[in-house]
Amino acid sequence: MAYLVKIAARAERDLASLYIEINGEESEWARQWYFKLKAAILGLGELPNRHPITRESKRLRHLLFGHKPHVYRVIFRIRKALRQVEVLHVRHGRRRGFRRADLE
């Protein structure tokens, strides 16, 4: 049984900023890459436990998307009782680790 994927407001802002940053409006390649990222995020509803636990918290997991040096981390948590995956944050993989305040 699949999980519902819910994208938190912070992650929506991250995605919107990323789309602008990669110039998705002007570049077909960037737009296609962005849509693949979104598809990977929505795909978290199938077998979300296959993704590794983050080093910052044992309650969070991450999806790594892209190829070096352009790897992005999608931080999410699994809410088993609700059958839901909540995407909390999307960030470039080279950025420092996140803090709890980053997820609010």
Going from N- to C-terminal start, the domains of the chain cover: 4-103
CA distances to 49, 58, 66, 78, 80 from 2, in Å: 12, 22, 24, 12, 11
Q: How far apart are CA 58 and CA 53, in angstroms?
A: 6
4-103 classified as CATH 3.30.460.10: no
Q: Which residues of the chain have pLDDT under 70?
A: 1, 93-104
Q: What is the rounded end-to-end Cα distance, in angstroms, of the chain? A: 29
pLDDT at 24: 86
Question: What global pTM score does this model have?
Answer: 0.86
pLDDT at 1: 64
pLDDT at 68: 85
